[in-house]
Amino acid sequence: MKQIKLEKPIDGPNGQKIETIALRPPRYGDYIDIGLPSTFVVLKDGGGFEQETPTVIRDWIERLWDGDPNFLYGLSLRDTLALRDAVIDFFREARAPLAPE
């Protein structure tokens, strides 16, 4: 679980303020349904680079947060990027080598 403390709380249900957003770890079905948060772009010379897909990152945030996604549209850019970073970190951590036992 990743807890993101919002710099600027947003309005939530029944006039409550949302100050923290918790994202649960992704699971198999999430990955199969949504896919990677980026795609690899191949260049003519054979090189390439990874390109983020903001709409897929949005889908990840909405899937991993246990709340109404409509409230997310009140987020500041800084808080939006903090949620983006949390999603990217899930993938980075999953690809990291396991520590030897």
Say if residues 65 and 80 touch (Cβ distance below 8 Å): no
pLDDT for res 101: 76
Q: Which residues pair with 46 in a beta bridge?
A: none
The alpha carbon of 63 is separated from its chain's Cα centroid by a whole number of angstroms, namely 9
Distance CA 63, CA 57 (A): 10
Q: Render each residue's pLDDT in the chain as its tens digit; 101 residues.
A: 999 999 999 999 988 999 999 999 999 999 999 999 998 889 999 899 889 999 999 999 999 999 999 999 999 999 999 999 999 999 999 998 887 87
Residue 20's pLDDT is what?
98
Domain ranges of the chain: 2-95
